[in-house]
Amino acid sequence: MSTTPPSSPSLSQGPAAPKFAPPIHILPNSISKTYALIHPVVLLALLAFRFNALVADPVAELLGNLPFLALLQVAFVMTCLPPAGSAKDDDDKSTSAAILKPGKIGLRRKNTAKSDSGGLSTKLIPAILSLTLTTLLATPVLAILLVLFGAPLTTHHAETLLCAAHMALLTSTALIYVHGVDGSVWKEVWGAQRPADAVWGAALGTCVGAWFGAVPIPLDWDRPWQAFPITILVGAYIGYSVGFGLGRTVLFGKRLRIEENGELAEGKKAD
């Protein structure tokens, strides 16, 4: 009598479903949630308040507002977002907290105060690193992209660089803060394979808004605010706020996927 070995569950069930990365959540406390609502409003209010000065002297205004924008973005990421690797660290801490003391049944290790004392540094160091990488890497890349999309090549160099710096702070500071420098994660970011959240939505909204903001520049209206890069920057700020809001609400957790015929379709919502 012959016997047939049982089939392996992994073979009988077919290939495993792809594991999707979760969206980035705003930190679950009242201060973070409140400031996440206020932050885009503050950025738009700053832009509206200084708009006349921006039209009068774009270079001086963009340069003068750059430190304030950097400070606001650092405050936002430290207040509202988890730094890269924090989820893994939390899992490790919860696991270690559940280990019983040897020789004493039923007693658990108590959490030490080291994690509390290092709370500020675990947020400040990633924030400084994200700001540094944004300045050194994202700003030149966006300046080149602005030129490729029609910005003046032989003139307006200061305007192009400062516009790129503002866009880099809006798009890249939070992305680097929450995702770090993991190459596989950034492939998903550039390939639009990440689920929508406030960070990804704000970055995408900034780029889309800047693209729409370039539309009035060549129109024959002879308005002073049509000068490069005023409308691009206004579109970037508005796009940031709209993308931030949509990423937190109706689009949160959703992703785009490409059908076999090449058309875009709405993907499944990530957990």
- The rounded distance, in Å, linking the Cα atoms of 53 and 6 is 76
CB 224 within 8 A of CB 55: yes
Residue 251's nearest CA partner among 259, 242, 239 is 242
- In angstroms, the Cα distances linking 221 to 151, 213, 216, 218 are 19, 15, 8, 9
The gap from C-alpha 2 to its chain's centroid, in whole angstroms, comes to 60
- pTM for the model stands at 0.80
Indicate the Cα dihedral angle 173, 177, 183, 185, nearest 10°: -100
Domain ranges of the chain: 30-83+121-248
Tens of each residue's pLDDT in the chain, 271 residues: 555 555 544 444 544 444 557 899 999 999 999 999 999 999 999 999 999 999 999 999 999 999 999 999 999 999 999 998 775 544 444 433 433 344 444 444 444 444 443 477 889 999 999 999 999 999 999 999 999 999 999 999 999 999 999 999 999 999 999 999 888 888 888 887 888 999 999 999 999 999 999 999 999 898 999 999 999 999 999 999 999 999 999 999 888 665 444 454 555 565 5
DSSP-derived secondary structure letter, 7: P
- In angstroms, the Cα distances linking 187 to 104, 181, 244, 258 are 48, 11, 21, 16
Residue 198's nearest CA partner among 255, 242, 139 is 242
CB 233 within 8 A of CB 212: no
Q: Which two tokens stand for residue 17?
A: 């479903």
